[in-house]
Structure 1
């Protein structure tokens, strides 16, 4: 994707880009983490349906995003694609609350929702999640548009920090709306509206320069992008240090996605927190991640993306061990707020920077598409956690996440941020 250096590092485009992190984290926190798993558990009486819906939508997104990133490189229309996928996500998220009314059904009280209602709610969630995940590749493509290489870590950190600030603002509003109406479905409407409204700055203030040979989307061009993607994958197979990053990121993001989806459920069912108490922990995590996300951006620019990634994943491992070993709030809460929040924020901040370190300038979208595959297909942990929680309890489910995390850290340790060669035209 072409960029002009004179347009980089300006405050307004940086603010507009970072505000999209603020916006999309509202969806992730309100829908994926705070309300949809609890909502579906109330309707269906089990967690596995949510885990399966998450897994299927992420796999579909994983198959889509590599070619989407390559098409964005060739057409120069990343911002346009970002708008339409954002709109689809917001609409589908709001529709979850239309598809199912949790005031009418309560599986624990012996009145589960009919199968058709469950399917409709899960379908809306699947579409919203697919659109959300696909939008991220177009958003990431715009980072080199607004920031020069020496500032990309800090700008990425600003985005992640603002994202968690969005959680701090959105979660209490959503909880208030739920309390006022007596129905969790209200939270999905709040999330859809807040996501779209908060995303507007990126569309107003970020302007990408199109490539000199910009093309329209045609079958021939898509076929060319598939061939180019094949060349890139073959080169990556021989560039083992870069390949190790993608494999390691796949495994570690698997853990991150599971933690994002199941943290509140674990706090309520595995650690004995009330609904209000668990929401308070999530808000506290978001405040902490707002600060630590910007700190991780600075650390990434100073130490490099690989070291920052290892520090972030190590923090997550420590948090999992402590949370599984004890329920003492004076131990668990500080650990979550410092190591859990810092680890979650750091994985996103340093991961983006690593991709920009290795991607040829004209293939930024394609490499972010491959990076997206490692994120979107990292969903087996979500289903594994749900199945383990149903079978052996939440503490065992949490400990099970250590296996992919440790293996992922081993691959990251073997990686190296070296620039890949360009694919043939």
Structure 2
């Protein structure tokens, strides 16, 4: 009779890898919630008294991260050291998070924010390319959904603790505590998920930068012969443009339009993340059952409908309800189904990292609405600013539907 430990879920090697990979989603979502959505945006907009500066910082960080993405994807594909680079970018991200706890001047805080965002988004390139290592094809949708769901659940776990820490020791303690949790929950991946195997691994060299960008232009040129993949990446660019703005500005919008107390804002964000956990599991299950592209289309539809409702609704309660239903599914479904859709369309080959690099590149450059939102919020108001997000969201939905239609008709990417 085998030892009991061998029957334990976490000691079963394939399932242990699956859970360990998903737990990193929990870890980095703590950074996303605290730094990108909750405490830092509220703090910096209150300190500066304007919104455009925060929007400009978000845009700058994402563009710089986008310029790095092809190079990072090439590192993953050619060196066979994906986990090593993920570990380094994770530690640097945490270091900038901790720096925000000790700096006081708005200019310094914005600089730390930009640098932290750059390395956070850089780490996602390495993280995404480890998905085929952590889970077999039939479980990748579930694993991606589990990661998305655990990320939201982690935020629900952390927010009450950070709110308590802020009340007793100030906002600086929030960044210190969150950085520590980011590190702790990232450890299972580094211990349990194997390194990504690549054929003929090479040593690091700076020429990867030039080669990576040449490969980007080559991949873009090849997309002419892969219309489904071209439509998918174009739709992803537009949809994530709206999503990025929604994530960056969600808490500031709720504060400025509805004026709730701080603890109510924290409860709202916790509620959205509870819903996100459930929607992550649901979208993962639907992805494995229906396929990635149909769920991606459904997510884009929910995003467009939710933005329309949020733009028009006058009451805070209705705003909260729509955020925790359609909004939660839109965000969770986009990330969950999108990763699986790319693997299905691009194939699990040696160049998967480069395609993921292109996939993340489209997400990083999807930041123009974030800047326009801040400018319009200062000049015309927050409701008017939210309305502009309907344009990229609707266009993304149309292109996703076109991609799905072509895939069903011709069966090729």
Cα distance between partner residues in 2 of 1:25 and 1:331: 25
Give 1:203's aligned residue: 190
Write the deviation string for residues 262-294 of structure 1: whole angstroms up to 9, x where unpaired. Answer: 111111111232211111111001011101101
Compared CA separation, residues 209 and 402, structure 1 to 2 (3 A): closer
TM-score by length of 2: 0.92
Residue 83 of structure 2 is aligned to residue 83 of structure 1: no
User: Which residue, 386, 403, 409 being the options, matches 1:415?
Assistant: 403
SS in 2 for 1:212: coil
**Contact residue 9 and residue 148 of structure 1 kept, 8 A:** no
1:159 Cα deviation from its structure 2 partner? 0.3
Residue 402 of structure 2 is aligned to residue 398 of structure 1: no
1:239 Cα deviation from its structure 2 partner? 1.9
User: Which residue, 293, 314, 322 being the options, matches 2:309?
Assistant: 322
Residue 330 of structure 2 is aligned to residue 337 of structure 1: no
**Contact residue 309 and residue 351 of structure 1 kept, 8 A:** yes
Compared CA separation, residues 419 and 135, structure 1 to 2 (3 A): farther
Cα distance between partner residues in 1 of 2:210 and 2:320: 51
Cα distance between partner residues in 1 of 2:321 and 2:214: 49
Give 2:225's aligned residue: 238
Residue 47 of structure 2 is aligned to residue 43 of structure 1: yes
SS in 2 for 1:10: helix
User: Which residue, 93, 97, 104 being the options, matches 1:93?
Assistant: 97
Compared CA separation, residues 238 and 132, structure 1 to 2 (3 A): same
Give 2:6's aligned residue: none
SS in 2 for 1:99: coil
User: Which residue, 143, 151, 157 being the options, matches 1:163?
Assistant: 151
TM-score by length of 1: 0.90
User: Which residue, 200, 205, 209 being the options, matches 1:218?
Assistant: 205
Cα distance between partner residues in 2 of 1:329 and 1:125: 29
SS in 2 for 1:362: coil
1:220 Cα deviation from its structure 2 partner? 4.6
Give 1:304's aligned residue: 291
Cα distance between partner residues in 2 of 1:193 and 1:205: 20
How many residue pairs match? The answer is 396
Task: After superposing the two structures, state which structure 1 stretch, 235-244 or 221-230, moved more.
Answer: 221-230
Cα distance between partner residues in 2 of 1:74 and 1:153: 26
Give 1:263's aligned residue: 250
Cα distance between partner residues in 2 of 1:149 and 1:210: 16
Q: Superposition pairs for residues 168-207 of structure 1, below 5 Å?
A: 168-181=156-169, 183-207=170-194
**Contact residue 93 and residue 117 of structure 2 kept, 8 A:** yes
**Contact residue 17 and residue 193 of structure 2 kept, 8 A:** yes
Cα distance between partner residues in 2 of 1:257 and 1:324: 16
Give 2:115's aligned residue: 127
**Contact residue 261 and residue 382 of structure 1 kept, 8 A:** yes
Cα distance between partner residues in 1 of 2:386 and 2:393: 11
1:323 Cα deviation from its structure 2 partner? 1.7
Q: Superposition pairs for residues 376-387 of structure 1, below 5 Å?
A: 376-387=364-375
SS in 2 for 1:98: coil
Cα distance between partner residues in 1 of 2:376 and 2:57: 17
RMSD of equivalent CA atoms: 1.7
Residue 351 of structure 2 is aligned to residue 363 of structure 1: yes
Write the deviation string for residues 222-258 of structure 1: whole angstroms up to 9, x where unpaired. Answer: 5444443332221013322211111110111011111
SS in 2 for 1:273: coil
Cα distance between partner residues in 2 of 1:248 and 1:271: 32
Compared CA separation, residues 197 and 395, structure 1 to 2 (3 A): same
Write the deviation string for residues 378-419 of structure 1: whole angstroms up to 9, x where unpaired. Answer: 111211111111111111111111011101111111225666
Write the deviation string for residues 160-183 of structure 1: whole angstroms up to 9, x where unpaired. Answer: 0000011101111111111112x3
Residue 19 of structure 2 is aligned to residue 19 of structure 1: no
Cα distance between partner residues in 1 of 2:48 and 2:255: 17
